[in-house]
Structure 1
Amino acid sequence: MTASANRTEPLRLPPPRQGWGNTFWTLFGLVALGALLVACAVYTAPPLLSDWQIRDTARPVADARVTDGKCSAKIVLHICDMTLNLRTSTGTVARRVNTVFTGVHVGDYNIRVMADPARPDRVTTDLALDRLWNRTITLLVIAGSLAATIIAAVAAMIRNRRAASGAMG
């Protein structure tokens, strides 16, 4: 026997052909993941960034209240949406905030409205400030996972298209 007869070559099969239905559902999934990533950037990141800016100067505010506040838990992921209203000498400041964090908690949250006296438009809550690092890590993990999944899916689609076109030619 010769040396070339002992060598085994890997058997490569082209990926199964993807019909329009598979392509549609793949693209639909990518759009949905992209929408979740945009939602993180639009609704969760801005309150988080402003909380980092006022974390050392925020104080409880007596003339403030929470309206439309609601928290929900999905296993260990907590999502709190609320509108914070603060009366100032120049008028009322209303700010819609979204707070996303992880943890194990059963029951209600008691919160106080907090604001930086120099920047009352950056009104927040003690819950948001107490969980600042948790919120930051949670956002980075969720956004990073979504972005990695989108990139991996696009790369797989491109790789499968190239392999399919290479098998035909």
Structure 2
Amino acid sequence: MSQVTLPLPSRSIEITGRPFAMPAAFLFTVVILSAMAIGLAIWQGPGLWRDWQISQNPLTLDDWDMVEGECSSRRGLTDCEADVTYSYQGTSYGTHISLAFLDFASGDYLVDLVISADDPELATISLGLDMLWNRMAVFAVFMLLFGGGAMAMIWGAIKANQANGAAKAPGRMDVVPVRIAGVDEKRADKYVAYHRLDNGKRKGSIIRTHFRAGEQPMMAIGADGGWYGVAVKPEHLSMPVILDRGLTRLDLSESERQQALAAFEAEQQRRGVVPGEAAKPKKQGPNWARGLLAGGGVLLLAVVAFFGFWLYYVLAAPDAFDPVGIEINNVMPGPLNTWGCEQLYARFGDESAPFGCVGDDYVSWKVAGEKTKVKS
């Protein structure tokens, strides 16, 4: 590390303790995310599987009754519950239907009852089939957030445990700089997050470590005048280990430790650091500006992709019944949905209307007026 002088013995050195910590709030976060993923799977999974089976050979019934049915919408996420009874080939059936999908449109839904011609016990409302791809997408996104988040936390804990095991093996050390990403103080303990550096730039994912009461991460001013965390990289380990102010994380003799600290402090004093000043890193919160920029960039890309595919669908798609295009056009605000349906009608007016563009009869085009063209 050219930024800081820290002379270590030219021999294999062992790292003491467990220098790598698991992700913050690991157990709590994993339990909550896993519970949400399992709850979502129990809530929506069976209904999606049922409606997928029905969609393979659907049959619309006339002899049925809705005992109780209601849809509620919260910020575009619509949740529908219905209890239905029906008869088919002399046998009576009853079932509960639950489904959730994304829809920004307002108003009531008119539905039919659809069963599987292969298994009449499988029944759903036509809205469930119309929104099947929408529901699958919503389910996949939330499962990715909940289940993927839990798996990411578990993977981070596994990596930390593996790195702690590897760090026990003695090896030669290179002194390297690291960039502190944040310090989380819990009572007297500190949880420090830091990044590896490559040519002064952050590299790789965040590494976390735990300092007990009375311990401080070793901080220093480098040759370029910037503040760095002082770490060592064992020859057999890919992740650097940030050192503590007293060098107790390294298995050194007392004379070796004092010699290294004396050279380090002398250099820091020449650079204008008051003794003890580098011992306490400034507590850093999250970088809100960078987070907002990153989130805004992702959101912008998503919006561009969303509207780009919608324009492709209504203006150039070869099939009016493209499932993704139908769902996007259906959730568009009224004026945009109407405009999109007009473009589709200009190209596919001789065919039945896709969902989102249908009139009251569920077949004709709602934008066609008296000149509606229906596929015979």
Structure 2 distance, partners of 1:97, 1:28, is 33
Q: Which runs of 5+ in 2 are unaligned?
A: 5-18, 161-190, 192-207, 212-240, 250-376
Query: Pairwise mapping of residues 63-82 of structure 1 onto structure 2 (< 5 A)?
Result: 63-82=63-82
Partner SS state of residue 108, structure 2: coil
The percent of aligned pairs where both chains have the same amino acid is 24
Aligned match of 2:3 in 4, 8, 16?
8
TM score, norm. by length of structure 2: 0.36
Query: Pairwise mapping of residues 140-151 of structure 1 onto structure 2 (< 5 A)?
Result: 140-151=140-151
Structure 2 distance, partners of 1:52, 1:75, is 26
Contact 2:101 2:134 in 1 (8 A): yes
Q: Which residue of 1 aligns with 2:106?
A: 106
Paired amino acid for 1:54: I
Structure 2 distance, partners of 1:103, 1:15, is 45
1:118 aligns with 2:118: yes
1:86, distance to aligned residue in structure 2 (A): 1.8
Say what the alpha-carbon RMSD is for the aligned residues. Answer: 3.2
Query: Pairwise mapping of residues 88-103 of structure 1 onto structure 2 (< 5 A)?
Result: 88-89=88-89, 91-103=91-103
User: C-alpha deviations, 1:76-116, integer Å up to 9, x for none?
Assistant: 21111222222234643222222111121112211111112
Structure 2 distance, partners of 1:143, 1:69, is 26
The alpha-carbon distance between structure 1 residues 34 and 63, as it changes in their structure 2 partners (threshold 3 A), is same
Structure 2 distance, partners of 1:114, 1:85, is 12
Contact 1:83 1:96 in 2 (8 A): yes
TM score, norm. by length of structure 1: 0.73
1:155, distance to aligned residue in structure 2 (A): 4.8
Structure 2 distance, partners of 1:148, 1:108, is 35
User: C-alpha deviations, 1:102-160, integer Å up to 9, x for none?
Assistant: 12111221111111233111101110111111111111111111112223344556757
User: C-alpha deviations, 1:46-89, integer Å up to 9, x for none?
Assistant: 12112122214212212222233221112121111222222234
1:28, distance to aligned residue in structure 2 (A): 4.4
Paired amino acid for 2:3: T
Structure 1 distance, partners of 2:75, 2:20, is 37
Structure 1 distance, partners of 2:118, 2:154, is 46
Q: Which residue of 2 aligns with 1:164?
A: 210
Structure 1 distance, partners of 2:91, 2:28, is 45
Q: Which residue of 2 aligns with 1:84?
A: 84
Contact 1:43 1:97 in 2 (8 A): no
Partner SS state of residue 120, structure 1: coil
User: Could you say which structure has the greater relative contact order, defined with CA pairs below 8 angstroms and 6 or more residues apart?
Assistant: 1
Contact 2:54 2:123 in 1 (8 A): no
Q: Which residue of 1 aligns with 2:47?
A: 47
1:45, distance to aligned residue in structure 2 (A): 1.4
Q: Which runs of 5+ in 1 are unaligned?
A: 17-21
Structure 1 distance, partners of 2:56, 2:146, is 31
